[in-house]
Amino acid sequence: EAVYFFHPEDLQKINLRPFRNTYLLVRKEEEKRYREALHQTFTLEEQAPYTLNISLPSRPTNPRELPHKKNEIVNGSVFLLHPSSL
């Protein structure tokens, strides 16, 4: 079973008891935000880095412009969450 969440504050609303481990996938540029938001309730133990090559349609702001494929490389880490003993 897996749990997905997108905002750090959403983790507080999820019952984690049914899960033996809870993992968090975080883009490198978002790591500080998650560490700061979760530091009182969880410690993050880095398990592995990841790199994804993704393709997304662009979102042109000009209505006369057609969307085109936008390639992006995403770097981040997988973290195991441990409940803090604070």
19: tokens are 């899960």
Question: Is pLDDT above 90 for 63?
Answer: no
Sign of CA dihedral 64, 69, 70, 76: positive
pLDDT of residue 83: 86
pTM: 0.76
- Edge-to-edge strand ranges of the sheet holding 42-57: 23-27, 69-83, 42-57
Nearest Cα neighbor of 21 from 70, 65, 62, 79 is 79
Which of helix, strand or coil describes residue 18? coil
